[in-house]
């Protein structure tokens, strides 16, 4: 039996793609970009749980201005590694966004199917504007075109975990963004 308490979550990482310091610096820059863009506009950060939790927490603290937050939870993936294309709202907004400037905070945009759905959903609620800030953009697998306003990092087509991102609900608490060993999800090693 595997002893969960003594198994390191780092053991399943084949490579650290983005280290803690690199992420901290970039999130600080994104925060400053948003402050400049949204000065005096009283924006609401709408975060898409659960993966964006860590990014939201750091991003909002890098914004030295009045902001409010709201949380949605949608699901597009099951326990596997591929997008199903099915988007389900698990938790809706708690406040109206009519007339508000909305900043959607996402951890990763992969196929774009989740945001494609969400942008239409939010637009129907009459916001003054909607922009997107995402930490990780993985353009290789894009199926829906998404107008991303602020991107942290553009990353290659690897299965990434950590800093909020999971595989089967694990690894979200890794402080960096790492690549999951293919042996963990039964995938093949990438051909370099």
Enumerate binding residues for ligand PRP (CB under 6 A).
Answer: 48-52, 75-77, 83, 106-114, 166
Q: Is 147 left (phi over 0), alpha (psi -120 to 50) or beta?
A: beta
CA angle 92, 95, 96 (to 5 degrees): 100
**Catalytic residue selected from 12, 58, 107, 110:** 110
Shortest separation between residue 109's beta carbon and ligand PRP, angstroms: 5
Say if strands 129-137 and 101-109 run parallel, antiparallel, or are unpaired. parallel
Please identify the residue of the shown chain whose CB is closest to the bound ligand PRP. Answer: 51
Rounded CA-CA distance 48/165 in Å is 12
Q: Which is nearer to ligand PRP, 67 or 148 (CB)?
A: 148
Pick between residue 42 and residue 157 the one whose CB is nearest to ligand PRP. Answer: 157
Asked if residues 159 and 21 have their Cβ atoms less than 8 Å apart, the reply is no
3 is catalytic: no
Nearer to ligand PRP, 31 or 164 (CB): 164
The residues assigned a catalytic role are 110
């Amino acid at each position: 039996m595997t002893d969960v308490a003594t198994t390191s979550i780092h053991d399943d990482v084949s490579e650290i793609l983005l280290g803690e310091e690199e992420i901290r610096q970039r999130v600080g820059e994104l925060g400053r970009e948003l402050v400049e863009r949204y000065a005096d506009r009283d924006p609401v950060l709408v975060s898409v749980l659960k993966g964006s939790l860590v990014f939201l927490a750091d991003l909002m603290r890098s914004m030295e201005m009045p902001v409010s937050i709201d949380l949605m939870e949608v699901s597009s993936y099951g326990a596997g590694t591929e997008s199903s294309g099915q988007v389900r709202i698990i938790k809706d907004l708690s406040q109206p966004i009519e007339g508000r400037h909305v900043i959607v905070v996402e951890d990763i945009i992969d196929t774009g199917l989740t945001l494609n759905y969400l942008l239409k959903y939010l637009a129907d609620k009459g916001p003054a504007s909607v922009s997107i800030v995402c930490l990780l953009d993985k353009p290789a697998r894009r199926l829906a075109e998404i107008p991303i306003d602020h991107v942290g990092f553009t990353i290659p087509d690897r299965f990434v975990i950590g800093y909020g991102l999971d595989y089967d609900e694990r690894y979200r608490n890794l402080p960096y963004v790492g690549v999951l060993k293919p042996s963990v999800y039964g995938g093949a090693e990438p051909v370099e």
